Chains A and B, each alone.
Chain A
Amino acid sequence: MAQAVVWFPSKDHLFASLQPVDPKRELSQGDIFEDIPFARFPYRRDDTPKTKRGSGMVLGHPCDISPDEKGAVTPWRTLCRVVMDKDALVTIDGTGHFFAFPLPGLKGDEAVWYADFRFTTVVDERYLNPDRRIAALSLDGWLALQRRIAHFYSRGLLDVSYLALNAGHHPDGGTFAEGRPGTYESDFVTVNRRT
């Protein structure tokens, strides 16, 4: 259990949209799709790769995947696996299991899922069919994801106020989940920013 650094939004503010997600919504980092193929190679002692389909989360930043930007240059998209926390071991306070980004309520129930940064796949953009999109993160959720990704790859913990400078890159713009504009203060000096 860590010090009480608030980094994760409440359950009601994590997602901008759950299934069904508006097909017209711009593809964004943190979007979750179903039926994405993942592979392991070699699988155990067998040289035959094992593939499995399941949920995956888009890892690329909007600048890289947007069709109006660099997304137009390459069709390949990187996603990480999204799996259910069957053992209820993923903590939400940010301690431990740094490879995991918790997704409580992803399937509309109490089960906690998580994005596992360790296991990624690269698929053609055509796999990211809007019909298969089951969730899109809110601005709060996206900022938390960015912090988590940065922490996983760098062990550096980024202040949310810095990340919020780029909030305009989020499909909803710089607004909170419910659509109201807001400001982010440094969570290094603030806890319980939002009540």
Chain B
Amino acid sequence: MLAKPEGEVLAPMMGHGASTSLPGRGAVSTVSAVEGGALIRDARRRLDWSQRVLARRLGVSQGYVALIETGGRTPSDEVWTRLVNLLRSLPATADLVAGLETQASRNLVPHLTGWFGEIQPEFHTEGPSVLDWVSQFKFTVVTGEAGSGKSSLLRLWLDELATAGWTTGLVDLAYEPDADLLERTIRTVVTPFATDVIPIEPMPVDPERRAQRLITYVNDSAPDAVALAFDNWAPRQGPIHDLVEYLASRESRLRIFAATNAKAVSVPGAAVIPVPRPSPASWQSWCVNWSVPESVRAELWRRSHGNALAAVLLRGSVFAALSEAPASSIEDLWIDGVKSLPTAPDVPWAAVLRVCEKFLGKSAWDLIKSVGASAEPFPTDSAALLASSGIASRLVEYRFLVPVMGFSGPRLHVHEVIRESQQGDEGNASMALGLSAGSFQRAGRSVDSVAALVRDWFGQGTSVTPEDVIRGVDSLEDQEIEGNPELVLALARALALRGSSGDLERANQRIRNLVARDELSAPVLWEALQQAADLAIRLREYARVPEYLDRAQGLADSSVGVFRREPLAVLLARAAWEQSLFRDAEAALHGVDIEGTVHGARVASWKARIYAALGDIPAAARAAELGLQAAVASKNLRAEAYNSVLLAELEVMRGAHQRAKRLAERARSLADEVQQSDVAAQSLAVLADLATARRAPEEALGYIAQAKERVSSRGNQAWAHAYLLVAEGKVMRTSSDWVRLVSTAQMLEGEARRVTAYAPAHPVVSLLIVEAAWCWAAVGYSHEARRVLGELDTSRAQWRVSWEARRVAFLAGFSTGGDEDGIELVREAETHGCPYLAAECGYGIVVAAARRDNAALVQQMAAWTVAVAGARGWTNLALLARAYSPSRSEPVSSVQPQLIVNPDGSTTIVMPAPAGRPSGTDPGHPLPDDFED
């Protein structure tokens, strides 16, 4: 590998400061001290760095660098290693170090890379300039499918930052087995030249506290500009991954990048960007370079979906085959390889790898599998690997194996897509070992005990969580599960509720298999069909819902009185609601009574949602109230949490804030108990809303952070993320952080686009759009607000969303109706049973009118808001409006009173009713008559 000028064997090292010799290295560099000095000088000139800058990056004094450069001092092992690693990480100087490496490690595995990888991306992509980017965004998430080039993009960015003097580091979370090691890694990366062993005091696995400790460390120890990149990040996949979000959410100098395969990821507080595709020109150039026949270039692009890694691996396979059989035609091999790929629109990685395996041969493929199956990067001193180093070096060259630099020496690993493809391979000894080890754990489980667990879970008031059920059922053999349909149902339900990445697909597969079976009893089929419809909704396959529900309806018709129909109505309503077909949803539940059962509670909660969407807030509140009563009566904690939070949301609009707080806190507590993290997050969003109403943004942000924590413990819950982003936007609007507000607006727009891509009709889309417009308007960019609102399909929007859109238009100054529009908004909120919303809107109108120097409107609305908010006890709002309302003023009514002198000499002043307001125009619905209750 690398050697210092004196020629001692040197272990490449990052971190701990411990220098160890690498076993098995025979070659020794003979680079002289003078040549080493010259290297430093050349590198410094290329980088246009002063000795001081280089010294700072090396953690030494400027004088020491000067001495090395002039040959007056030989650098220590440690400094030399730092230097070489540093130069190798920078594109401008990588070739200088590569030359050294060739001399020093000619009979080792070639192309071993440094921490950032020496391998340069093969495709050119168009992306933002990272320096501009980091000045705006603290936390950036790069998304893309496996092999699309996320890791390469991270490395390019880090290189660019390092060139600009940043301290940078890349952490591959695929190989971070525990939080302690991860923390140690991060500390090492941000302070690469610390020489002391870093003590890590034991601490419970608590990502938030750990993040805080790390941030303190960074603030105390790291240089000014530090960027950390996390590869193979998986949002909401456990504490190791959660730590990344916690790091990003804390105030520090850190800039954080994360690359994830997760689709449609929504990470509150992060700028999420897709990895750029290779440009067409770059693709053509690559094809020419690697002799891809013109006849299959387009086909290669199509069948590999433009995936850079797929193309690179196919290239490697083709050239590996060519090296084995030099007489072959490269064109024929390419054509064979490309034609071996399926033409399906969604080519699986397994198909790509099968082609690779065919070309590479068994021994090479076995080696790849052995590396892929190892729990961590595979040390190169492994006897097996060294014994086959000839193959290994070729596989490195062809990128099937990727060298990385770890703490104890160079290692090899395979890309995640190859690694994943090896899972469950029966021919792999280590996997077999793992499987047999697992069977020991299974011995402690029996079908009966799991079935009891499942019954407990389905029971009332249980503390069994979906996670418990999944763990329990998964501990059984597949045959045992399939032989017991109740277990399949329980597993599918638990997976649907947990909703982590891949859970829904797994549940769907199980359930589809189940409903296809002929021998199911009617009750099991009834339950399975409902779950199938539920999963179809969760997977947004709405067209399949009627199919299952029709079957279920047929079952109900053939067994009159056996099955309750409410669940079918709820499923139909849900499917319609998710497509913003609120009238259809209402029709689906028409005539379905809210009974004091768990079914009643579910019906009630969906009725509440639908009524609210249609703007009938009083009916929505009544339904949620009944749902809450039904949930309590049936002792169903989940339903109670759900109805509580729905009612809390409505009470916020109505202005019963103390009650809303009590309900939201209750919902949060229940949701935590039953591990319904999306409901917990929703409850926290309500608490944030209430804190915002009290003008306590710090408290509100605290709730949002807690909500993120809840959602981060859950997987692919796209809606929860979107709703949380909207909640964050509402809080951020009250903050003065201009940059963050702009970022929030952009994130909301981005999220709206992402959700639109796979669920264009979902109600959350319009919510995201209007919130984005709100944020733009709050920051003063009314043209942006107008642009964003132009994307809103008001015919699909919920009443509140549509109302908010008009409110934004009025406040941002592009509504068409002038002052009357504002008055009408207030009136509309009142007549829809949202007095607080009306008063809040009144205050907003005051502020907007003041900005436009409309004194009459300011006076009218300020006085009105003071009176209404004061009478209702909304103290903050009353105080705010009072600031615009003078203590005395001229008459605000244009109608003059009449003075009547009575026969006894006394006087009466009579004010005629304002014209045009006969009693028949009472706003809103007639008040309910409790004699009719």
Q: Which A residues fall within an 8 A CB radius of B?
A: 1-6, 8-12, 14, 40, 43, 50, 52, 54, 83, 85-93, 95-98, 100, 102, 104-105, 109-112, 114, 116, 155-159, 161-162, 186, 188-192, 195
Contact = CB atoms under 8 A, between A and B. Distances in A.
Nearest to A90: B927
7 contacts: A3-B914, A52-B930, A86-B928, A89-B830, A110-B656, A188-B897, A192-B888
B885 interface: yes
Given A5-B893, A86-B621, A98 B919 contact: yes
Interface stretch (B77-85, B118-126, B735-743, B860-868): B860-868
**Chain A interface secondary structure, helix, strand, loop or mixed?**
loop
Nearest to B837: A88
Of B861, B886, B910, chain A has the most CB atoms within 10 Å of the CB of B910
Contacts of B893: 3, 5, 188
B827 A6 contact: no
Given A87-B618, A162-B908, A8 B867 contact: yes
B922 A97 contact: yes
Interface of B: 617-618, 621-622, 654-659, 823, 826-827, 830-831, 833-835, 838, 859-864, 866-868, 870-873, 878, 882, 885-894, 896-897, 907-914, 917, 919, 921-925, 927-928, 930-931
A10 B914 contact: no
Contacts, number: 168
B867 A93 contact: yes
A161 B908 CA distance: 10
Given A97-B927, A105-B873, A89 B618 contact: yes
A89 B871 contact: no
Nearest to A85: B927
Nearest to A51: B931
Contacts of A8: 867, 871
A40 B931 contact: yes
B890 A189 contact: yes
Contact of B873 (A88, A95, A98, A110): A110
Contacts of B913: 155-157
A195 B923 contact: no
Nearest to B878: A10
Contacts of A155: 913, 919
A55 B380 CA distance: 85
Contacts of B658: 109-110
A159 B873 contact: no
Contacts of B655: 88, 110
Task: Name the residue among A52, A97, A161, A192 with the largest chain B CB count within 10 angstroms.
Answer: A192
Given A89-B927, A109-B658, A192-B863, A159 B868 contact: no
A86 B910 contact: no
Nearest to A165: B906
A92 B835 CA distance: 9
Given A1-B827, A8-B867, A96 B891 contact: no
Contacts of A162: 907-909
Contacts of A112: 872
Contacts of A105: 873
Given A8-B871, A11-B870, A92-B872, A156 B618 contact: no
Contacts of A104: 871-873
Nearest to A91: B830
Given A1-B823, A40-B931, A96 B924 contact: yes
Contacts of A12: 873
Contacts of A114: 927
